[in-house]
Chain A
Amino acid sequence: MAPARASSRNNSLLLLLSTLAMAACTTQFEREYAEAERWRAAAAAAGHEWIETSRLLEQAEATADAGNMDVAFELLGKARFQAEAAVRQAEREAEAWRVRVIK
């Protein structure tokens, strides 16, 4: 009987560990998601949001909800990259547009 008990203990340990890992992953996802969303909001506030960013964020969230974390992080990374690039674009354009004005 003992081995059976041990194996069931092992199983619950495994379950516990994987739940913990998943929770860690989820909180990391949530942290990174919030960060990406802050960049998107900054781009939007500057009037420079790109067209795909919020759709990528939605897809990342849905994919994470479905438990497919690798893909979720990849989508999130794309969204974050775009949102940050859009903010940089807004920063550049705050002055750069002036040189294009026809004189």
Chain B
Amino acid sequence: MNKTAVMLTSILATSLAQPAAIAGPEEDRAAFVRYFQSRFPDVEFDEFANGIYAIDADSRRQWLEIEEFPPYEFAIEQGESEWQQTFANGRTFADCFAQPSDSIRAMYPRYEEARGEVVTLEIALNDCRAANDEEPYAYDAEELIDLTAFLAFEARGKAVAVRIPADQPGAIAAYEDGKRFYYSKRGQLNFACSDCHITSVGQRVRADRLGPSLGHTTHFPVYRSKLGGMIGLQQRFLGCIRDVRAKPFELQSTEYRNLEFFLAYMSNGLMINGPGARK
């Protein structure tokens, strides 16, 4: 047992100590895009922002019908009034951000050198509350998800633009960690994200067809008709991890933040089109 633990630690340590041998994020992204474009040659690059609806005509038809009366509209409205509310100190969310509300979504997730970690939009919003002496939201709180719905809606049509500056070794390490997580098999069912969302993309799993990972982050948060409510991206991670019978991580854990950082980078150049509607 102790021997195993030692071995494990040393394997992990060596695997962390060799980032130089790894292809850079931009090569990874180009290969990722090439892969999905060759699997689905009839699908335009921009269409991948629509997830499963880019590749499945039947569910696309249903979705277009749903989009006539978007079930996430209420969340956008709620989010907007949250955004405009004044904190007890008289300030608002807008005072925390240098950018106008249509340019905030695209700034996250980002690596903040000073903090040494990936900051997601949810974290930035909660930081803003804390800085103004307001209680932070739980990461699955409706208020927080609605705020992200509003900011995604405002940002529609702006490109995903995650940056990994070459002079930020911490950003590259976070990206590599997210990439490792994405491609690692886990859980009792021994599945990696890539097994479903790359290798088996387009195949049926029970009532669902598996959507491509290219575009995975563009349309969150989403209204899920199955749940009758909105969920954020990391709640989806949590669900997929539970489905392979692995123990999920906490929302906004380092694991999920780095995974989001990697996945969002893979979607660079696609348009933000959240919030979305999904089964």
Tell me the interface secondary structure of chain B in the complex.
helix
Tell me the interface secondary structure of chain A in the complex.
helix
Which A residues touch B183, using CB under 8 A? 97-98, 100-101
Query: Once the chains bind, are B1 and A42 in contact (CB under 8 Å)?
Result: yes
Instruction: Mark out the residues of chain A between 34 and 87 whose CB falls within 8 Å of any chain B CB in the assembled complex.
Output: 35, 38-39, 42, 44-54, 82, 85, 87
Which B residues touch A82, using CB under 8 A? 188
**Total of A-B residue pairs, C-beta within 8 Å:** 83
Given known pairs A97-B180, A97-B184, the reply for A46 and B247 (CB within 8 Å) is: no
Q: Shortest CB–CB separation between residue A32 and chain B, in angstroms?
A: 12
Query: Once the chains bind, are A51 and B255 in contact (CB under 8 Å)?
Result: no
Query: Once the chains bind, are A93 and B1 in contact (CB under 8 Å)?
Result: no
Q: Shortest CB–CB separation between residue A63 and chain B, in angstroms?
A: 21
Measured in the bound complex, the distance between the Cα atoms of B153 and A88 in whole Å is 44
Contact for B1 among A35, A50, A52, A92, CB less than 8 A: A35
Which A residues touch B1, using CB under 8 A? 35, 38-39, 42
Measured in the bound complex, the distance between the Cα atoms of B31 and A45 in whole Å is 32
Contact for B5 among A42, A54, A94, A103, CB less than 8 A: A42
Q: Shortest CB–CB separation between residue B22 and chain A, in angstroms?
A: 8
Q: Shortest CB–CB separation between residue B162 and chain A, in angstroms?
A: 18
Q: Shortest CB–CB separation between residue A82 and chain B, in angstroms?
A: 7
Contact for B246 among A49, A94, A95, A96, CB less than 8 A: A49
- 9 further interface pairs, Cβ-Cβ under 8 Å (given A53-B247, A101-B179): A39-B1, A48-B246, A87-B8, A93-B185, A97-B184, A100-B183, A101-B23, A103-B23, A103-B31
